[in-house]
Structures are given as structure tokens and as C-alpha cells.
Amino acid sequence: MLILLIDELLSFFPLLNAFAYISTRTVAATFTSGLIVFLFSPPIIRYFKKHQKNGQPIRADGPKRHIIEKSGTPTMGGVIILLGVIVSSLLWADLSNKYIWVVGFVALFFGLIGLYDDYLKVFNSSSNGLASFYKILLQTIISIIAVFFLTTYIADFHPVLFVPFLKDFSINLGIFFVIFSTLVIVGSSNSVNLTDGLDGLAIMPVMIAIGSFGLIAYLTGNILFSEYLNIQYMPGSGELAIICGAVIGAGIGFLWYNAPPAMIFMGDTGSLSLGSIIGIIAVITKHEFVLLIIGGLFVLEATSVIVQVISFRLTGKRIFKMAPLHHHFEQKGWSEPTIVIRFWIISLILALIGLLTLKLR
């Protein structure tokens, strides 16, 4: 939006030409979203505290310390994050870019699903919100619409799958690309949701992953860098770095209030929308398999739940003391800050490994 204003003022203020570059606008978007979240969080937190009598319901079968320490903490903090991301992106992104609208569509509607889920939990005073079947169904419908738009209305986007480490190798999935991409987006969203269980645990790995994909989007959108790295050139995808910057800024602002002891939780409103952003950008940049590495922490958390459920149903025994994985380590006696920081470190290492695949082709 501001690009139009800058174009009008360019003849009077030549220095504004710096904002023609994606890198400059990414920094501006990061700062803007961070400032919005930092300034608006206190009044929104006060509002949620007033209207959420008991805060986010805590699982009765969870660690007892959680029930004591975290009861009464308000949720739906994802509203603040989405506010910062959406406003900042609208201000600094090129709104003629269709990728911006696709990512915005996915993030907003996944956020609304999460918001409704959080609403049911809070006002029914239950840790059970929207039924999983309906939640997955709605996520699937939104993902299919987004991927269908990508493959139908964006000429440079093709239903092709690229594999890391293999140079000039691709698979045309045809109609199956919609199914595959939907699994990526829905899987990414729910994996982040499962990771969001301790103060500050999910938001930092999200920022690390989205920062990595911001770099990937920038590189795939630049013909010189993409040719040098032997990765697929995706015209226009570089603009997504601005949304990634906005997510990082919003994450930093939110972490100020989500750091232990958290003043607010992001809830499903935040985790579902942030996970969907990572997933859809991985699809757009053709780095779905790299997401498995960069988002490896989310994969581990989701896998621990799947393995736990399958093991219990088949044998009646649990492999982990509690799932998701971070609760397993809590039950083993690890302190919350220890788990959070070690998981942050793991997330950073995995992101670096994932970025290395850009050159190993």
C-alpha cells in the first residue's frame, strides 16, 4: 500500500527509492509489526483477562504444575500476532502480487478456525474445543482453495515437486499436487499447534522457520540467485519475504509478553495461522521437503503424538511419559526453561541444516 505513496513522493524525496527493494521493505515490515504487537498487547491482554474468567483451560491429565501455575492465563494471543502481521504486510508488501493474497487468505482463515476453537474452550471451560474432524475438514477446504488458485490463476506456478540434493530433478504431480500441498499446509499448521504447550516454546521456532523461508522466498524470487543455487526460479515469490519479516517482528513483540511466566498464550488462533503460513510458503517456493528439516522440531512433536496414540491403541502401553514430546521431558523432571531453550537450539540447528540443502544440489 505504501509503495503507491512512495512512488508519488519519489521525485521529491529520492531517498525513498530504497523502499523499492524487497530487503528494505522486509526490515520495515519487521519493525512495524513488532511495534504494533508490542504497543497493542497490554490493552488486549487486559481485555482478555476481563472477559476470560478462568483463562485458557488446562488439560486435566497434564503436568500438575501446569494446572497450578498456568490456570487463569488468557489465551487468543494469536489475534495480536495476526493484527501485526496483516497490517504490516498490507502497508509494505506489493499488493498486486497474488502470492501475498494467497498467504494472507490462508493465514486469516486458519486463524479464524483457531479463534473459534479457543472461544469454545474458554467459554465452555473445557480443554476440548472444536471437534478435530471439523477442524481438519475446514483446514483442508481452505488449503484446497488456496492451492487451486495457485495452480489455476498464477501462470508461473506449476504442480511440480522438487527434491533436495537432486539437481534438475522434478516430478509433475498433476491433480495430486493439490492433495500433496494440502497435506503440507494442514500438517504444518497442526504440528505448530502441538508444539505450543510451554511459555515461549512455539513462537521462537516459528520465527526461526519463517526466517529461513523468508530467505528461501527471496532467493527463489531472484533469477540470479536461483540460477546460482540451482533452485527453481519462482517469479514474484521474493515478495513473501515481507510477510516473513512481519511474522518475525510480531513474534518478537509477542515473545515479550509470552516469555515465562506468560502473560498470554497465543492459543490455536496463533499456532494454526502461523503454521499455515510456513506451510503455504513452503508450497509456493517449492521447498516442501526442506520444510521437514527446517520444521523438524514441529515434525518431532507431531510424530510423538502419533506414535503415542498408535502404541497405546495397539499394545495398551505408552512409549512416552506424556505426549507431545515437551511434556515427556517435563514428566522426566526437566524444568520448563530448560526444555524451551534446548528446543530453541534444536530448531536453530535444523534450520541451518535445511538452508544448507540450498547449495547441496
Whole-number percent of the chain with pLDDT over 70: 90
Residue of 282, 220, 248 whose CA lies nearest to 89 = 248
Section 245-274 average pLDDT:
95
**pLDDT surpasses 90 at 33:** yes
Q: How many residues does the chain have?
A: 361
Could you tell me which residues come within 8 angstroms of residue 173 by beta carbon, excluding any fewer than 6 positions away? 159, 160, 161, 180
User: What's this model's pTM, rounded to 2 decimal places?
Assistant: 0.94
pLDDT at 177: 95
Span 315-331, average pLDDT: 91
The separation between CA 348 and the C-alpha centre of its own chain, rounded to angstroms, equals 15
Q: What is the pLDDT of residues 154-192, one digit of tens each?
A: 988 999 998 877 777 788 998 999 999 999 999 999 999
Q: Which amino acid is at 200?
A: G
Helix (H) or strand (E) holding 64: helix 64-70
pLDDT value of residue 221: 96
Q: How confident is the model over 63-99, as pLDDT tens digits?
A: 666 555 667 789 899 999 999 999 999 999 999 999 9
> Which tens digits make up the pLDDT trace of 40-63?
999 999 999 888 777 666 666 566
Query: What whole-number distance in Å separates Cα of residue 142 and Cα of residue 135?
Result: 11
